[in-house]
Structure 1
Amino acid sequence: MVSRRSAAVVLSSLLLVGSAWGWAPAGQAHEGRHRGGVLCQGDSTSTYDPPLTSASRSTRVHTDAWYTCTVEPGRTVHATGSLDGVSPSASCDGLSNPRITEVVKYDDGEQSLILYDQGTTVRTAGVLDVTLSGRVAEGRGKGQSARRDVLLALPQQLPTECLSSGLRGNNGQAQLVIQP
């Protein structure tokens, strides 16, 4: 039997995938000349320093991601992402005004350097959707917009760590979209 929380995560994931596939990645994946879209999906693990609590404060964020990416129609590659940055106002309820950099290394030898300068957090039905928006500064997709969504399943109440020692990290499902 599927819990309501699991159903909400699956439904939200399907909506994200559907919206991203609507633009159908296209283009050539040749060094710096790639002008089509890229769609990556996979697991994401984040750590926070200091740990997140119910009070907002400046927090360093580090995230590791493992993606499968569609870089052109019918062509997928594996990739890893490493995100680092600071949210000047972070709590268990989300991140505000993050300044985060992601380096995506594709297994075909290409890379993307993404600078995120906007972020939102939406909590509904036990699911926290953290969205980062920015631009690709270098490599595959240079000059194109980037959007990263991470869906985190949360208990209906704040985790007990938020009220005591703080939440040191979390895991979720990530989707990265690079598009013209």
Structure 2
Amino acid sequence: MASRRGTALALSSLVLVGTSWLTAPPGQADEGKHREGIVCEGASESTYDPPLTLLPHETRVHTKAGYVCTFASGRKSEPAMGFLEGVSPAASCDGLSNPRITEFVKYADGERSLIAYDSGSTLRVAGILDVMLSGRVVKGRGEGQSVRRDVLLALPRQQLPTDCLLSGIQGHSGQARLEIKEAKR
């Protein structure tokens, strides 16, 4: 008798759990996690192939960034890695124009974001290059949310400003700020 009651109780519990899953709105548990704003900051290293010169030319851009990300929900900051790949159709020592770049961000908690940048601008002031990219998260954490990446690039120590005239600038290092804007509810 006791085993029948135990079996009936277990089956009833399973039915209740199953119906609560079926009636809950889809994605409700994850909604806040994937819609919150995120700000990531850290070191960014870029290389150019071929090197940047005074004359604009198509250039492949490779960037690796080590971020510390802070979430709008107020939870603890965590490290993340960003990997950017793409092409600037008319890059020069004065900046990148109309870059087509994607960034893959891997967070310490295992989540990921794939970002597509579709516009950019460059500002050079006193030897510092400010590269601003904007786009959208196309997959993963923050999907559909708008993104802005701003990086201040300094000339590498082993390269001289005159390298732009001669062999070209092979890369830059700087500080990046990546912002995935909070989605409107």
Report Cα offsets for 1:35-69 as digits up to 9, x if no partner.
Answer: 11000000000000000000000000000000000
Moved beyond 6 Å, runs of 4+: none
Query: Within 2, Cα distance between the matches of 1:175 and 1:138?
Result: 20
Q: Secondary structure at the match of 2:54?
A: coil
Displacement of 1:127:
2.2
Q: Secondary structure at the match of 2:153?
A: strand
Q: What runs of 5+ residues in structure 1 fail to find an aligned partner? A: 1-27
Counterpart for residue 80 of structure 1: 81
Displacement of 1:29:
9.7
Q: Secondary structure at the match of 2:148?
A: strand
The one-letter code matched in structure 1 to 2:46 is: S
Larger relative helix fraction = 2
TM-score by length of structure 2 reads 0.77
| Aligned counterpart in structure 2 of residue 175 of structure 1, from 174, 177, 181 | 177
The one-letter code matched in structure 2 to 1:41 is: E
Q: What runs of 5+ residues in structure 2 fail to find an aligned partner? A: 1-27
Report Cα offsets for 1:96-129 as digits up to 9, x if no partner.
Answer: 0000000000010100000001010011233211
Query: Within 2, Cα distance between the matches of 1:125 and 1:69?
Result: 29
Counterpart for residue 136 of structure 1: 137
Counterpart for residue 39 of structure 1: 39
Paired residues of 1:112 and 1:136 also in contact (CA < 8 A) = yes
The one-letter code matched in structure 2 to 1:70 is: T
Larger Rg: 2
Query: Within 1, Cα distance between the matches of 2:67 and 2:31?
Result: 20
Paired residues of 2:155 and 2:173 also in contact (CA < 8 A) = no
Paired residues of 1:152 and 1:172 also in contact (CA < 8 A) = yes
The one-letter code matched in structure 2 to 1:49 is: D
Query: Within 2, Cα distance between the matches of 1:126 and 1:85?
Result: 24
RMSD over equivalenced CA pairs, Å? 2.1
Counterpart for residue 151 of structure 2: 150
Q: Does 1:49 align with 2:49?
A: yes
**Percent identity over the alignment?**
66
The one-letter code matched in structure 1 to 2:110 is: G
Query: Within 2, Cα distance between the matches of 1:108 and 1:89?
Result: 37
Query: Within 1, Cα distance between the matches of 2:92 and 2:139?
Result: 31
